[in-house]
């Protein structure tokens, strides 16, 4: 599933190509892609408006749309979704679910093989993003803020970091990467992470995400995004030597999620 770096890569791709363009109309090819409103209302409300900005919130691609009223179009790519800009004349692909027609003769195509993706059009962002947690690359996400956030949480650290209402944008790949860098076992209770490692975790999350964003994310393992150049150090490296100590990387299951770790660098906590 695309995580923060891959979604940010999509946002930057769209920002360069569609900002300032008018929307002439839209076609919905798979009704269930549209949430919050009917497909007919979705198309009607988009027509005649203009794309003022493209942004990211957590794992959501956002378009701020202005016209008779200000609206926000959020897209959750889920497992297999992608947003591509291409000429109107190009034929509809088998897995295109929504096509948005632009004033320059091009289209935004939402292609989603597995049909899990969703598009939300609303005048109130809180309808979609109110429950999302702090942005990990924002100025508000400080080491002290993370310490305070962890202090009351007794559950294992990995499922907590995957919870989008706790921190928005992290997923399986970058949580594994961050915990490995901070030398924290994914089963460690969040409120038992020592203070030095809390600071290390904060630094690791920001460093891993920043590096991945600069490399357009990763296409490793899940084929998350074409052209992503970030190569994980631990995620998906089962059976390979740890790049830090040489111990063989192991794959375990934590919170029903495949998890990669170094059993030497990331010591399992005592019961």
Q: HEC states along 210-223?
A: HHHHHCCCECCCCC
pLDDT, position 224: 54
Q: Which pLDDT band holds residue 123 (cuts at 50, 70, 90)?
A: very high
Report d(CA 87, CA 75) in Å as an integer: 21
* CA 221 to mean position of chain CA atoms: 16
What residue has token string 């295109």? 96
Q: What is the CATH number of the domain that holds 178?
A: 1.10.8.50
Confidence of residue 220 (pLDDT cuts 50, 70, 90): low
87: domain CATH number? 3.20.190.10
Given 153, 250, 251, 257, the catalytic residue: 257
Whether 168 is in a domain gets the answer yes
pLDDT (0 to 100) of residue 219: 75
* 39 assigned to some structural domain: yes
Average pLDDT for 215-223: 72
Query: In this structure, are 117 and 156 located in the same domain?
Result: no
Same domain, 15 and 76: yes
- The pLDDT tens digits of the residues spanning 235-245 come to 999 999 999 99
Arithmetic mean of pLDDT, 137-165: 98
Instruction: Please give the average per-residue pLDDT across 51-57, as a whole number.
Output: 98
pLDDT band at 270 (very low <50, low <70, confident <90, very high): confident
Q: Per the domain annotation, does 191 fall within a domain?
A: yes
Judged against a pLDDT cut of 80, whether residue 225 lies above it is answered with: no
In the set 5, 6, 57, 59, the catalytic residue is 59
- Specify if 135 maps to a domain: no
158 as an active site residue: the answer is no
Do 170 and 243 lie in one domain? The reply is yes
pLDDT of residue 9: 94
Check pLDDT > 70 for residue 267.
yes
Local structure of residue 82 (DSSP, 8 states): E
- Asked whether residue 163 falls in the same domain as residue 106, the answer is no
How far lies 208's CA from each of 70, 90, 148, 166, 180, in Å? 35, 37, 21, 18, 11
230, 234, 238, 242: CA torsion to nearest 10: 120
> What's residue 11's pLDDT?
97
| Residue 124 and residue 14 share a domain | yes
Residues 182 and 247 in one domain: yes
Q: Are residues 113 and 10 in the same domain?
A: yes
In a domain, 244, yes or no: yes
Check if the beta carbon of residue 5 is closer than 8 Å to that of residue 135: no
Q: Which domain holds residue 45?
A: 4-129
Q: Phi first, then psi: what are they for 50, rounded to 5°? A: -130, 140
Residue 240 lies in a domain: yes
187 with 106, same domain: the answer is: no
Query: What proportion of the chain, given as a percentage, has pLDDT over 70?
Result: 97
What pLDDT, in 10s, does the model give residues 81-109? 999 999 999 999 999 999 999 999 999 99
Burial of residue 109, with CB atoms counted within 10 A of its CB: 0-12 exposed, 13-18 middle, 19 or more buried: buried
| Distance of alpha carbon 254 from alpha carbon 121, whole angstroms | 35
Q: Note the pLDDT of residue 196.
A: 97
Burial class of residue 10, CB neighbours in 10 A (0-12, 13-18, 19+): buried
Q: Is-catalytic flag, 8?
A: no
**Structure tokens of 164?**
């989008």
Same domain, 85 and 152: no
Note the pLDDT of residue 154. 95
The verdict on residue 268 lying in a domain is: no
How many domains does the chain fold into?
A: 2
**Are 8 and 124 contained in the same domain?**
yes
Whether 17 and 72 share a structural domain: yes
Q: Position of tokens 């990763």?
A: 218
| Catalytic-residue membership of 3 | yes
- CA 157 to CA 99: how far, in whole Å? 40
Residue 257 designated active-site: yes
**Do residues 96 and 196 both lie within one domain?**
no
The answer to whether residue 267 sits within a structural domain is no
């Amino acid at each position: 599933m695309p995580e923060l770096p891959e979604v940010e890569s999509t946002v930057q791709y769209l920002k360069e190509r569609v900002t300032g363009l008018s929307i002439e109309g839209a076609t919905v090819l798979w009704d269930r892609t549209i949430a919050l409103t009917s497909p007919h209302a979705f198309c009607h409300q988009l027509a005649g408006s203009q794309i003022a900005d493209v942004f990211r919130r957590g794992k959501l691609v956002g378009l701020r749309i202005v016209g008779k009223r200000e609206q926000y179009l959020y897209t959750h790519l889920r497992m297999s979704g992608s947003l591509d800009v291409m000429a109107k004349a190009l034929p509809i692909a088998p897995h295109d679910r929504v096509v948005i027609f632009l004033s320059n003769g091009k289209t935004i195509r939402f292609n989603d093989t597995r049909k899990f993706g969703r598009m939300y059009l609303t005048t109130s962002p809180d309808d979609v993003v109110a429950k999302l947690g702090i942005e990990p690359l924002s100025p508000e996400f400080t080491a002290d803020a993370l310490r305070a956030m962890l202090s009351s949480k007794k559950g294992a650290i990995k499922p907590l970091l995957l919870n989008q209402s706790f921190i928005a944008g992290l997923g399986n790949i970058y949580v594994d990467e961050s915990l490995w860098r901070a030398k924290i076992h994914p089963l460690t209770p969040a409120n038992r992470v020592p203070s030095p490692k809390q600071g290390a975790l904060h630094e690791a999350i920001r460093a891993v995400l920043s590096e991945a964003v600069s490399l357009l994310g990763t296409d490793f393992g899940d084929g998350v995004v074409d052209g992503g150049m970030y190569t994980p150090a631990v995620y998906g490296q089962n059976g390979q030597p740890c790049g830090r100590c040489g111990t063989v990387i192991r794959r375990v299951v934590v919170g029903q999620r495949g998890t990669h770790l170094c059993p030497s660098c990331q010591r399992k906590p005592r019961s």
